[in-house]
Structure 1
Amino acid sequence: MPAPQKSELVSEAESLLKDNGIEGENMGDLADALADALALALTQLMSMVQVAPGIPVPPPAGPSAAPGRLL
């Protein structure tokens, strides 16, 4: 699953700012900068995250999907 892009986050950032009482003529620019920073951070996180393999259960104990863990 890819990280959301800036264009997908701008409206959410604007609504977050309005809900917290932040208004003004430059509020759109602030929402744009907030969405850009969040999109870049999420993209970096998604490129760096790794999933470690799980340790499977031996056959006598039953089948296992061997879930992984985030590193």
Structure 2
Amino acid sequence: MPYCTECGGRLKWDYKLRQYRCQSCGLTYTESQLSKELERLYSRDDDEEEKRRQRNQEYLEWWTSNKKDQRR
């Protein structure tokens, strides 16, 4: 079952409106709107994961270069 991108509430399919409706906040999504929102959220998570990996890599490079300088 999908969840609301705004509040995290459960989305229920409304047969009359042919849209998903959040049971918590009442926000409605068409199928295309929901898929676009979910894609946007997942791509943002991927970007944050890539930034985290980059920071870790930079830190490791800094740490190893610092150790090399101390050995001299």
Higher strand share: 2
Larger RCO: 1 or 2 (CA < 8 Å, sep 6+): 1
Name the TM-score, length of structure 1 as normaliser: 0.42
Between Structure 1 and Structure 2, whose CA radius of gyration is higher?
2
